[in-house]
Amino acid sequence: MKIHEHQAKQLLAARGIPVPAGQVARSVEEAAAAVRPLIEESNNPVVVLKAQIHAGGRGKGSFEEHRGLRGVNVITEGIEGGPAAAEEKVRRLSKKMLGSTLVTVQTGEEGKTVNRLYLEQGVDIATELYLAILLDRARSRNIVMASTEGGVEIEKVAEETPEKIIRAEIDPAIGLAQFQANELAHGLGLEGEVARNFQRFVKALAAAATELDADLIEINPLVVTGSGKVMALDAKMSFDDNALFRHPEIAEMRDESEEDPAEVAAKNAGLSYIKLDGKIGCMVNGAGLAMATMDIIKLYGSEPANFLDVGGGATKEKVTEAFKIITSDPKVKGILVNIFGGIMRCDVIAEGVVAAVKEVGLKVPLVVRLEGTNVERGKQILNESGLDVVNADSLLDGAEKILELTAPADGAL
């Protein structure tokens, strides 16, 4: 689960990790009202207004409705004109940013609607660094990744100058040891008080990752200020969904407006669903088989409309819900149901399909491939239902049939 920058900074600050002072705003008024206290508190006339969306690249991203307006804006009007001038600028920009669509390299062409802003004190930046904590799957450990190349995409650094990335492995029984923090500071070329500030920062960050079950914390950039402080200028955090049960305060930070509505509905129904752009809806049991079903559709020249795993213990109700979600996508021109019933009984799936079609109707071709436990009974239920269902004998047969049925009249797929 992802959270916003302002939420991540709140979690970090609560753990003694230095972040700039800031205030979240959901309206123009809230944004404007935050300016004066922030300038007075930080004793710095410069403030920064940042769009809050679950995607990076905001500083370089631009608004669809206001070309040229960036997702992150440094407001310097306060230097000459005092808090009132800064307030005026914030008001003007907030009006444009709120409710508009920010397009960045990470949002895709459709962009994301900005519903909240974060107003932050300006920071006197001497150096920009990169720091992250993430899982190293091959080692089954969390690692710290750091680089002197702050403020740019780490994937690019890894590609072009991998020697500029340094790592330290976190032993779950010990945490990040002091010597590792020293090594990291040394590797980044930090010295004296700055090095000590960095060591405290990275140790606290590693502890926070463990405490909060974060699967990623990325501080990019981590900055050293003119006076030698080390602080998180940006903060990206995401969490292990499977551990949210022990972090209710983080679960509450979920912003469903950042997620696809159909995916939210599916999650609430206990289904694993991901919307895609194609025209063939898929309903499958098991994640691996669901991916493989998408792959075979693509290989035969069409595109899957979704990933959908109904799970091992699907009930008639779950199948019905899955059907509703698939058919609510107007792009869907045909549906392929692919079930390998091991524990999942084919007759239960068949009953679910029949009930769903009766409830929501069926306007597109439906191909059903059933295999496994009670397969004959399942096929019988479908055949006797009087519904226009095409039976398939294998995964290959199912893919061929749904492609044929959804092919345009001119024969092109």
Partner 1 sequence: MSILVDKSTRVLVQGLGNTGEFHTDKAIAYGTQMVAGVHPTKAGTTFHFEGETDHSGVPGRDDTYSTDLPVFATVKEAVAETGANASVIYVPPPFAADAIMEAAAAGLDLVVAITEGIPVADMITVKRYLEGKPGRLIGPNCPGVITPGECKIGIMPGYIHQRGKVGVISRSGTLTYEAVHQLTGLGLGQTTAVGIGGDPVNGTSFVDVLRLFEHDEETEGVIMIGEIGGTAEEEAAEVVAKEMSKPVAGFIAGTTAPAGKRMGHAGAIVSGGKGTAEAKIEAMNDAGIVVADTPSGMGEAMRRALG
Instruction: Return the number of the residue (94 or 293) whose C-beta is nearest partner 1.
Output: 293
Min. distance of Cβ 342 from partner 1 in angstroms?
A: 4
Does the N-terminal peptide bond of residue 261 adopt cis geometry, omega within 30 degrees of 0?
no
Min. distance of Cβ 116 from partner 1 in angstroms?
A: 22
Instruction: Return the number of the residue (240 or 404) whose C-beta is nearest partner 1.
Output: 240
Instruction: Return the number of the residue (249 or 410) whose C-beta is nearest partner 1.
Output: 249
Min. distance of Cβ 360 from partner 1 in angstroms?
A: 23
Min. distance of Cβ 106 from partner 1 in angstroms?
A: 8
Does residue 130 carry a catalytic annotation?
A: yes
List of residues contacting partner 1 (CB under 8 A)? 135, 137-138, 140-142, 154-155, 158, 171-173, 210, 213, 215, 240-243, 245-246, 272, 274, 276, 284-299, 303-304, 307, 309, 312-313, 340-343, 371-373, 394-396, 399
Across the strands, what pairs with 110? none
Other residues' Cβ atoms within 10 Å of the Cβ of residue 93:
20
Q: What is the residue type of 243?
A: A
Instruction: Return the number of the residue (173 or 409) whose C-beta is nearest partner 1.
Output: 173
Please identify which of the residues 218, 263, 321, 351 carries the catalytic annotation.
Answer: 218
Instruction: Quote the tokens at residue 40.
Output: 């007075």
Does residue 273 carry a catalytic annotation?
A: no
324-339 core/surface letters (b: 16 or more CB in 10 A; e: else): bbbbebeebbbbbbbb
* Host H or E run for residue 248: helix 248-251
Query: What does the H/E/C string look like for 18-61?
Result: CCCCEEEECCHHHHHHHHHHHHHHHCCCCEEEEECCCCCCCCCC
Min. distance of Cβ 398 from partner 1 in angstroms?
A: 9
Other residues' Cβ atoms within 10 Å of the Cβ of residue 103:
18
Across the strands, what pairs with 272? 309
Instruction: Return the number of the residue (174 or 409) whose C-beta is nearest partner 1.
Output: 174
Rounded distance between C-alpha atoms, residue 370 and residue 397, angstroms: 11
Residues involved in catalysis: 130, 218
